[in-house]
Chain A
Amino acid sequence: MAGLVEIVLGIMTAVGGFVDVSEMTFAAQAGSRFGYSLLWVFAMSTLGIIVFGEMSGRVAAVAKQPVFCLMRQRLGLSLGLFTLVASTIVSLITCAAEIGGVAVVLKLLVGGPYLAWAAATVAALIAIIWLLPFRWIERLFGLLGLLMLVYAAAAVAIRPAWVEVGRALLPNLPGFGSSGDALAYGYFAVAIISAVLFPYETYFYSSGGIEDRWTPSKLPVNRLTTGVGFSLGSMLAMAILVSAAVIFRPVHVDPRQPASVALEVAVPFGKPGLLMALGGMLMAFSGAAVETCLSAAYSVAQFFGWPWGRYGKPSETPRFTLLWVAGFLAALAIVLTGVAPLQLVEWSIVFSIVVLPLTYLPLLLLANDRKYMREHANGRIANTLGLAYYAIILVAAVAAIPLYLLTSGGQA
Chain B
Amino acid sequence: MAGVLTAGAAAAGEIDKAKLDQVRSLTAEGAFLEQSAAQGRVTATFAETLRGQIRDELQKLTKDPEFGATAEAALQALAGHDARRLSVIRDQLAELERSHGRAG
Contacts and interface: CB of A to CB of B under 8 A. Distances in A.
B41 A274 contact: yes
Contacts of B42: 263, 266, 271, 274
A263 B36 contact: yes
B46 A274 contact: yes
A411 B15 CA distance: 13
A318 interface: no
Interface string A388-412: 0000000000000000000010011
A263 B103 contact: no
A249 interface: yes
A109 interface: yes
A263 B32 contact: yes
A178 B101 contact: yes
A253 B25 contact: yes
A82 interface: no
Contacts of A274: 41-43, 46
- Chain A at the B interface: mostly helix, strand, loop or mixed? helix
A271 B104 contact: no
B90 interface: yes
Interface in A238-275: 248-249, 251-257, 259-260, 262-263, 266-267, 270-271, 274-275
Contacts of B25: 252-254, 256
- Tier of interface size on chain B: 20 to 34
Contacts of B40: 270-271
Contact of B50 (A108, A271, A411): A108
Contacts of A249: 104
Given A274-B42, A411-B22, A35 B49 contact: no
Interface of B: 17-18, 21-22, 24-25, 28-29, 31-33, 36, 40-43, 45-46, 48-50, 53, 87, 90-91, 93-94, 98, 100-104
Task: List 7 A-B pairs, minimum CB-CB distance, nearest first.
Answer: A178-B101, A177-B103, A254-B25, A408-B18, A411-B18, A412-B17, A266-B41
Given A181-B102, A253-B29, 19 more contacts: A108-B50, A109-B45, A109-B46, A110-B45, A111-B45, A177-B98, A177-B104, A178-B100, A178-B101, A178-B103, A248-B32, A252-B25, A252-B28, A263-B33, A266-B36, A271-B41, A271-B43, A274-B41, A275-B43
